[in-house]
Amino acid sequence: MIRDTIWFIFAGWLIPRWFAAVAVVILSTALLPIVSLLWQRPKLPKNAPELVRGWPILGSVDFYLQRCKFLEKQHKRRKGQPFSLYYGPHLIVGLVGEAGRTLLFNARQFDVRAGYSILLAASPHIETDIDNPALSQVNMFKRILTRERLINSLPKLLEDTDVVFGGLSDREAVVPIFPFMYRLVYKLTHRTGGVHEIAEDEELLDSTLKQFSSMEDCSLLQIMFTGWPLPSMLSKLWAGFKLHRVITGLMKERRRTGRNETDALQFLMNLGETDLEIVKCVIGILFSGLLNTGVNSAWLLSYLANDRMWYNKVQAEVDAFIARHRRTAAESVLDILQRIPYHDWDTQLPVIDVCLRETLRINLYGPAIRKNISDEDVIIPGTDQVVPSKAFAFYAMDGVHLNESIYPNAFHWEPARHLPGREEGTNKAHEFVAWGSGLHPCSSKVATLEIAVAVVAMFAHNEFHLAEPDGQPRLRPLPNLNRDNLSVNWPSEAVYVRCSPRQTRV
């Protein structure tokens, strides 16, 4: 009886305290990210653009969930003036108009890689030093992706594309063009800036591409709660660990056997960089070169398959390109293409060039993002307002690429708008910004070479048209643009092309 009484009293004392302790732990776990988020959030200076009122703590979530509608609403409400918003801990300034994009692309204080790696969380952070650019990974990229490397990589690019597109015509394949081209560009990017062993091993190519796809997934909560071990962050860390293990394993094997390659990995190894820095640099190059090039190469072929006039123009250009360099009737397409110098690939395909330019214009309409990495506020031209230090700046590229006053009938794919005599988008600076602009250009040489090689090989080996999954002709239009996409314009549905052998010999 006494024991039961003592136990009853003890339980009565313990249970409420146990529940209280559990409640404190749960509340602390829930409140800690919120407190951390608010602690990290920079204060809005008085001379910053007017703040868009968003959700408490979370900020303007529609900037990510319904970006197009959100921006249209803000532009209308603020009559074309810049504005500020918070997304979680991040202060973001929306720039508008010609002055806004001029600032975005010309400000030395703005860094593109810091912007995208944090606000999209879809690419690794690439170190940049505003005062010592020679020490940054950006400078390392420039040392790797040189004209000489492209020239040396060209034979392998041609071999890879010949095998891939020749195989399509052999079996009259129906292929989902976007994953097909994405995989091919991943392989080609390993030739120009990655690891040859991965490009040459189909199983390793597929497994590492799967890890890259995991790292590209962009979680809105991950952006908001930067650094917290959310499922998306853990998934990216695991994928990054697997990639690191693969690349370091290949480096160890080269050192063990004394094997030397001519790829970017070997270049970095010969410089004496640490294994970690080498892996970071290779992954950074692959991310920079894969996403836009992979998706837009597929859009280019889709647009051509959908427009027979431009399809025929490209076909004629490819045939003439090959015929100019043919020496004997017995030569294969690959024999001829491998003899063509890099300069000719860069200068003798003007039709493909304008088709690619138009594809980029109509598909690159998302936010161009920069971070003010300096310790000073940057004045917005024509105003007394600033982009605060450590804040992000963005400019929606559809404000220029889909602007009817610059590109009439802007939503229509029309390569002729870039031909001499029209040359839309060249009257003023920063009216075509697909390759960057001003002080923030993007080296387009790697992407244009990879796409040109792929398009020439496709047309040299195949006739193709849009199709349904069962191979029947696709009579429906291509999917509409999704202007709420955060980065590249993946189609809202699968797009297939059906390939058959050329009816006339090239």
Q: Which residues make up each annotated binding site for heme?
A: 442
Please give the backbone phi and psi of residue 216, each rounded to the nearest 5 degrees, phi first. -80, -20
The two structure tokens encoding residue 289: 């070169």
Residue corresponding to tokens 């695991």? 238
Distances (CA, A) of 27 to 39, 89, 421: 18, 20, 66
Closest CA relative to residue 67, chosen from 119, 8, 124 = 119
Contacts of 4 by beta carbon, 8 Å cutoff, 6+ apart: none
Total residue count of the chain as it appears in this document = 506
Alpha-carbon span 321 to 456, nearest angstrom: 9
Q: How far is CA 295 from the centre of its chain?
A: 9
Q: Where are the alpha helices (DSSP H) in 66-146?
A: 67-77, 97-106, 112-119, 137-144
Alpha-carbon span 316 to 5, nearest angstrom: 98
Query: Using an 8 Å Cβ cutoff, are 295 and 488 in contact?
Result: yes
Distances (CA, A) of 285 to 27, 50, 138, 143, 144: 42, 37, 10, 12, 9
Ranges of beta strands (E only) in 375-429 are 378-379, 386-387, 392-396
Alpha-carbon span 108 to 113, nearest angstrom: 13
The two structure tokens encoding residue 174: 């129906």
Can you count the helices (H) and strands (E) in the chain? 20, 12
Please state the residue numbers annotated as binding site: 442
* Amino acid identity at 246: V
Alpha-carbon span 408 to 150, nearest angstrom: 36
